[in-house]
Structures are given as C-alpha cells and as structure tokens.
Amino acid sequence: MAHTLRTIDYGVLQQCMHCGMCLPTCPTYDTTRRERNSPRGRIALMRAMADGELEMSREFADEMSYCLGCLACQTACPAGVNYAELFETARSDIEASGVQPGLARQIWRGLTLGFLFRHPTALRVAGRLLRVYQRSGLESLVRRSGATELLPASLRRLEPQAPRMAAAFSNVLIAPREEPTVPRRYAVALLTGCVQDLVYPDVNRDTADVLLANGCAVETPPSQPCCGSLHAHNGDLEAARGQARRLIDLLPPERYDAIISNAGGCGSHLRRYGPLLADDPGYRDAARAWDTKVRDVHEWLAQIGCRPPLTAPYDAPVSVTYHESCHLAHGQKVVREPRSLLRLIPGVSLVELKESSWCCGSAGIYALSQPAQAELLLERKVTHVRETGAAVVATGNPGCQMQIARGLRDAGSQTRVVHPISLMAAAYRRETGAAA
Ligand code: SF4
Ligand code: SF4
C-alpha cells in the first residue's frame, strides 16, 4: 500500500515534542526566522494534514518545496524524528494531489524523472548530445544569438549552470569485473550513479582503483538503473520502488560483501530500500538484506582498514578542506571516515571548514526550484571555503561537487573541488609512477 500522511504510522508524526533543538540547524529557518519554515513548523503542518485539520494546498506544497530535505534537523533531534520519511511522504502526497500545476513543470518532470532517469541508455545518449552541444561551438552560438531568452525562466537560469559532460562514461572506463593485484579479500559491487556517471565518471574509476588496491574484487555492471533517490526526493515513491526492484535484481545482495556507493545523496536513499519495499512480499526480504550490504565508500574503506598510500597525490604538499554532503553526514551518519581517509594521504593537510555540514544549496533540483535560497547557501559556503585558504575542497557527492565548483569559479577562485577518493587514487597511482 502506498503510504500518505493520513496512513503512515501515526507514531512517526507524534515523535516531535516541540523542543526546538532542530531550529538552529535548519538553513531555511536561519534565513527567514519564521516558524513555518522550520522543521518543527513543517512537522506541525504535516500532522495537521494527517489529522484532517488542513487540506492539501499550494501553500503547503510551496512550504515543502522550500525545505531542502537536507536532514540536518534529523541529526539534531533528540527524539529521533524520522524527518526523511515524513518529507518524502509529504512530497508524494503533494504530487498525487496535483496542486502544483503547470505544463512546463509536468513536461520537465516527465522527461527527467519519468523517462531519462528510468532508462540508463537514454540518459547516456542525452549526455552525449549535451556534450556535442557544449563542445561543438553550438552552445556559445545559441547564447550569443539570445535564443536562450526563449526558454522558460527556470531553464534559462539553469542553462549556464549545466554541468560539463564527460568524454567517456563509466562503462568505458571500468570493466564489468576487475580483480585486485594484491591478494583478494572481498567481492564488492560498485554503483556508478547517474550524475556521477555523466559528469564525474573519473570518480568511479578512482573508486574502483582504490577498492582494487585494498584487495576488493570489483563488479561494475556497465548499465545500471538509477537508484530512485531523485524520484523519492521529488514525490514519486512508486517510481522509486520500481527502481529499487531493478537494482536488487541486477545486484543480488547475497553475492557481495558490500555494495559500494560513492555519492552521498544516492547512498542515503540506497540503504533505505527495506522500508521502501516493506509492503512488497516479493522483495521485502531481499530489500532488508540489501540495506545491510550498502556502504558508502569511505565507510567501507574504514571498515576493512585502508592501506595508507606511500606517496602524495601531487608534487607539492596541499591543504585540503572537507565539505560534508548533507546526505552523507545526516542521512548516513558518515562523518569521521572521510576525514580519517584524507589524513592517511601523505602531503595532504586537512583544514577544517566552518559549518562543514551546512547545506551548499545543491539538494537535488533545489537550485532549479528555489534559486534564491540556493544562491544564498552557495555564497555562504564559498565564503567559508575561501576563509580556510585551502587549495582543494574534498566532498563526497557529485551535486555538492558541481555546486561548490560553480560557486568558486563565479567568485574567481582557483580552488579545485574533488572527491576524497580521487586524492587517494592519485596518491596510489604515483606509487607506481602511473599518471595521476
Ligand atoms: S530537512 Fe533541512 S531544510 Fe528541511 S526542515 Fe530539516 S533542516 Fe530544515
Ligand atoms: S528537535 Fe525533534 S522533537 Fe525537537 S522540535 Fe525539532 S523535530 Fe521536534
């Protein structure tokens, strides 16, 4: 049965005891200081919906769209409120109600969530076409001609921010099965993601290399369905369930010691297939087993004991600061492990970032739906990064990587943004004299 705010376990809604400890951690409340823009206020609205005191409305939808889904409130909450479940259920109710009309929005959702993120081959074809557009000179021609002015306002804002597509995706860079050159200790599956695959497939190659260097045989199916995180986050829980079933069929959990994700946002969703498929007798048990096998790559390496590299990733020592992906820190509670891995790398000095787990404004499609708030958060993040004086920002989520890289670029900063695993992989490669 598909749950709604009126049918989910009422205990989840009752957990909030209105203490307000989540308020200082909420970026939207911090901006407006309005109770309704806080976790406590939003939970009160959801409970009123569940109690039948409030009808579904455009105002409620706007409020839930303003929420980043960053889950900082979940970390701060002493009562253990499951905000992720409430948030996804509320967004699912909103989509089902149709209170957010608009033909352009429906077409955009249908094209992305309904088609591209359900068909990995089509997504890669779209990525290749976008690369041709970006590299052929067509992009600058279109911009010079003013044709982008014809786009809807939201797409017009997004167009200059479109990420650069990679020349080759993960299926070209990684063989379906790779064996470690050191004694084999584990068998793992590597999830290549959607955005990661199109924009940062080198991070997937780096992840495979680091796993191989640590005795893991790596299985990476060349074509992988989207994990469904984007669907769940944007109110399409039925599609999210379908994607979860496809991924479980592709990578039966009993076959692996671990199923590895290197994207904080995906990982947070991937390890909650059990609750997502709890009402599906055909997949319930497999989904529970799946959840026990999913690991963020930093977490897995810390668990098995990562071998420290013998060489530095670059010729000169480098100062690195670490930005925490919300869903890695708050959704998966992976906080210490990335820092510990960075400290293992020779030539890297870690400088702490102020408000390191404060959202950068990426948050899925937030920059598209709430551009003003997204920009505020990005400016705040860029300011703190510049205060560190670090030459490199390390972060474990492609959305954060793109967002912060754009913010730094726009601010005229030379600071690079990389995945922590890429620094580790570069250091390993220099041990053998391979190009970093
Ligand atoms: S998920 Fe983030 S933005 Fe939403 S209520 Fe919680 S802290 Fe605030
Ligand atoms: S910290 Fe938890 S219990 Fe307290 S107001 Fe926030 S959500 Fe409610």
The protein residue with its alpha carbon nearest to ligand 1, atom 4, reads 67
pLDDT at 107: 84
- Tokens representing residue 245 in the block: 């079933």
The 8-class DSSP code of residue 25 comes to: G
Q: Which residues line ligand 1 (CB under 6 A)?
A: 25-28, 39, 42, 67-73, 83
Q: Cα(26) to centroid of ligand 1, in Å?
A: 5
Contact (Cβ atoms closer than 8 angstroms) between residue 246 and residue 176 = no
Angle at 234 between CA 233 and CA 240, to 5 degrees: 70
Q: Which ligand gives the minimal distance to the CA of 16? A: 2
Question: Measured in angstroms, how far is the CA atom of residue 400 from the centroid of ligand 1?
Answer: 17
Picking from 391, 210, 211, 228, the residue whose alpha carbon sits closest to that of residue 318 is 391
pLDDT at 157: 67
pLDDT for position 3: 66
What's the pLDDT score for residue 346?
A: 97
Enclosing H/E stretch for 294: strand 294-296
Q: Rounded CA gap, 67 and 301, in Å?
A: 33
Q: Whose CA is nearest to atom 1 of ligand 1?
A: 69
For the chain, give the number of residues. Answer: 436
SS3 state of residue 348: strand
Taken in order 251, 254, 257, 262, the sign of the CA dihedral is positive
Residue 349 β-bridge partners: 319
DSSP per residue, 106-125: HHHHIIIIIIGGG-HHHHHH
Question: Among the atoms of ligand 2, which is closest to the Cα of residue 40?
Answer: 5
Which bound ligand lies closest to the C-alpha atom of 370? 1
Contacts of 71 by beta carbon, 8 Å cutoff, 6+ apart = 83, 84, 268, 326, 327, 330, 331
Q: What angle do CA 203, 206, 211 make, to 5 degrees?
A: 125
Q: How far is the CA of 22 from the centre of ligand 1 (A)?
A: 9
Contact 37, 64 (CB under 8 A): no
Q: What is the pLDDT of residue 155?
A: 67
Residues 126-142 have pLDDT tens digits of 999 999 988 888 878 88
Q: Which residues of the chain have pLDDT under 50?
A: 1, 436
- Confidence (pLDDT) at 2: 57
Ligand nearest to the CA of 42: 1
CA dist 117 and 127 (Å) reads 12
The Cβ of residue 315 has, within 10 Å, a number of other Cβ atoms equal to 9
